Amino acid sequence: MIPEYGPGRTVPHPVLFRLLDSEADDTTVPEIKVEHRSEYAYYPGCVDYYDQEMQFSHANYGETNHGIIFDSSIKLLRAVGIEPMILDRSFMKCCGHDQLWQGKVDLFRKMRDYNAKIIKMLGVKTLITSCAEGYRTFRLDYKLDGVRVVHITQILFERGLRVPATGDAKRIRVAYQDPCRSCRQMPVDPVYEEPRELIRRVDNADLVELKTFRADAQCCGVAQMMYCNDKTKGLTYSRMDEAREAGADYLLTACPKCLTHFGCLHHENKWRPGEERYKYRVMDITHFLAERLPGPWPTGGNVDERRKEPPLPGKKGGG
């Protein structure tokens, strides 16, 4: 059946999804190389793909850094004494969340069966994701018997992450965006309290709530990467305006999709240095916490040390 009106016309990143979809068809298991075998596994998800897409798409010239989520997560997990097995994209597939919600259930099934097979093969006991959509998908839509699926903030909170005092006298106001997938869509273990508790552990951070928060939190504007138009931008605007009205210095989120779209709009509204419409930083919560931990970034942090300021619009790749 050829859909009359389906997601195909509206998905704004067609190449990315062609890539992810074509991955699903090849179900041969490649050689699996894991550096460190452990019953704790960390699944970074598709953030690297998004990074590629965001770096080279017309909308965002490389400011939003998704790769840092991976580095920050590893750094944080090491800080609480977990050396996770990394479920690399070289042998894992996309978790299939977007495909499922775009209606491509056959692709989702293929991805689910493949991933569940690999996870079972590797003997994973606890699956950690840093992505709200991944958390929901692995927890609800996969039937992983015997595998505990946690969001990274949950396990950091559970293992008692301690953020050392920065000694910074300047107070910062931090707002947290509740991603829909890890909060109100989870009938079991919604992630409300853990990220807030982790933010409170940063000594100079004041947690501020946005106008709508927890289960009533307004959507960031885009889910399952299906639209990018003035309507969705309007939603992202209204959410970012809430953060501006709350006087936040940081807008944190636990979902790479929220990060993508906040980051995109944040960058679009930066005309020249010092003239931003939104004078706060948009970050993933793992990035925020890992910045406040001492020690090196596990893989160099995907950060160009020479670059102090984000690039201006129109400069591709930050050059």
Partner 1 sequence: MEVERVRDKVFEERPGFPTQYGPDRTDRQPGSPLVPHETYRDLVTVLLLTAMLFFLTAAIVPSLEKPRNPAETPFIVPDWYVLFSYGLLKLAEILPEFDMPGVLGLPGWRVTAGFWGFVLTNVPLIYLVLLPFIDRGRETRPAKAPLRSAVGVSFLFVWMFFASMYSVNNLILEKWPVIGSDDVLKAFMFVPPFLAFAGTYIGLRRLGYAPMHWWRVVPLMAAFLVTLAHSLLILATIGGWSQYGLVALFLGLLTGITFVPAFAVTWLPEKNALRAIMAVGGSLVLFTLALWFLLWYYDPASTFGTMVVLVPNMHTVFALPIFSFITAYMSLRRPYSTYEYLLNECYQCGKCHTVCPVTKVEDDAIGGLNLVYNSFKKQHDGVPMWTCLACDACSAVCPLDIKYSDYILEERAKVMGQPAVDGGGEE
152, burial (CB in 10 Å: exposed 0-12, middle 13-18, buried 19+): buried
For helices 230-245 and 256-268, the axis angle rounded to 10 degrees is 90
Identity of the residue, 103 or 318, whose beta carbon is nearer to partner 1 in the bound complex? 103
Identity of the residue, 4 or 25, whose beta carbon is nearer to partner 1 in the bound complex? 4
The pair of structure tokens assigned to 39 is 């019953």
Identity of the residue, 99 or 286, whose beta carbon is nearer to partner 1 in the bound complex? 99
| Smallest gap from residue 196 Cβ to partner 1 (A) | 18
| Smallest gap from residue 129 Cβ to partner 1 (A) | 17
| Smallest gap from residue 233 Cβ to partner 1 (A) | 9
| Smallest gap from residue 17 Cβ to partner 1 (A) | 14
Beta strands, E only, 103-157:
126-129, 148-151
263 within 8 A of 255, measured Cβ to Cβ: no
Q: Could you list the residues that contact partner 1 (CB under 8 A)?
A: 1, 3-7, 10, 100-106, 108-109, 112, 140-141, 143, 180, 184-185, 215-216, 218-219, 221-224, 226-227, 231-232, 234-235, 238
Identity of the residue, 5 or 305, whose beta carbon is nearer to partner 1 in the bound complex? 5
192 three-class SS? coil
| Smallest gap from residue 53 Cβ to partner 1 (A) | 20
Counts of helices then strands in the chain (DSSP H, E):
11, 8
Identity of the residue, 202 or 219, whose beta carbon is nearer to partner 1 in the bound complex? 219
Neighbours of 250 (CB within 10 A): 21
148 within 8 A of 183, measured Cβ to Cβ: no
Spatial distance between the Cα atoms of 218 and 124, rounded to a whole number of angstroms = 34
| Smallest gap from residue 188 Cβ to partner 1 (A) | 13
| Smallest gap from residue 143 Cβ to partner 1 (A) | 6
Distance of CA 95 to the CA centre of its chain: 13
20 within 8 A of 108, measured Cβ to Cβ: no
Identity of the residue, 127 or 202, whose beta carbon is nearer to partner 1 in the bound complex? 127
Place of tokens 């903030």: 153
229, burial (CB in 10 Å: exposed 0-12, middle 13-18, buried 19+): exposed
107 within 8 A of 24, measured Cβ to Cβ: yes
| Smallest gap from residue 163 Cβ to partner 1 (A) | 30
Identity of the residue, 122 or 144, whose beta carbon is nearer to partner 1 in the bound complex? 144
Identity of the residue, 232 or 260, whose beta carbon is nearer to partner 1 in the bound complex? 232
CA angle (199, 162, 46) in 5-degree steps: 65
Which residues are 63's β-sheet partners? none
